[in-house]
Chains A and B, each alone.
Chain A
């Protein structure tokens, strides 16, 4: 499992976007809600393309959404 090293701020960013729902985010980036939940929980590290799409929805750079701890 790739739980440990990549963390994300999606929950916080959704909150800052007027409590955007997981389903809304999922629809905007073209994945299922389950995938967003898995990413938020750190159970799945998305592809680079999906990571950029998520950052694009929140209008922030990628490193504000995802961070890597070596």
Chain B
């Protein structure tokens, strides 16, 4: 298994772990607070906004830890080249991420159109962000293994 495949595997596992823990935490908070419908949207907006830096910081930390562990275990140096193959995989994965996100976004708007509460819409949106992240990571892993 190559460095890129190992890295994407680690990213995927950490992403699943962080997302599930964060979503669990948010749902727990939501139930504990028992918010009115007016504060509902503010709560979900804040939760989604906080989730983005949480993901970024986690990814940076995981990258640093993975690089150190990988160098120690395999004695391989981290590749410094990002070539056309890497860029193509990144583009295709981003495309899959955006397609998934757009599908979820339409679903969230559909929920509103069908008279669902704003918290249902926000929850669908948040789950969409999480699933789109998984799709992006799985796509990268898949393309590195199977080619483009």
Contact = CB atoms under 8 A, between A and B. Distances in A.
B147 A47 contact: no
Interface band, chain B? 10 to 19
B81 A31 contact: yes
Interface stretch (B16-24, B83-91, B103-111): B83-91
B83 A35 contact: yes
Nearest to A49: B84
Interface string A11-55: 000000000000000000011111101100111101100100000
B148 A44 contact: yes
A34 B148 contact: no
Contacts of A37: 2
B102 to A, nearest CB: 24
B144 A34 contact: yes
A35 B146 contact: no
A40 to B, nearest CB: 11
Contacts, number: 46
Contacts of A3: 147
B81 A30 contact: yes
Contact of A43 (B2, B79, B81, B148): B148
B148 to A, nearest CB: 6
A1 B148 CA distance: 5
B4 interface: yes
Contact of B146 (A1, A32, A34, A50): A1
Contacts of B146: 1, 43
A33 B2 contact: yes
B147 A1 contact: yes
Given A32-B79, A32-B86, A44 B147 contact: yes
19 contacts: A1-B148, A30-B83, A31-B81, A31-B83, A31-B84, A31-B85, A32-B81, A32-B83, A34-B2, A34-B4, A34-B79, A35-B84, A35-B85, A35-B86, A38-B85, A38-B147, A43-B146, A44-B148, A50-B84
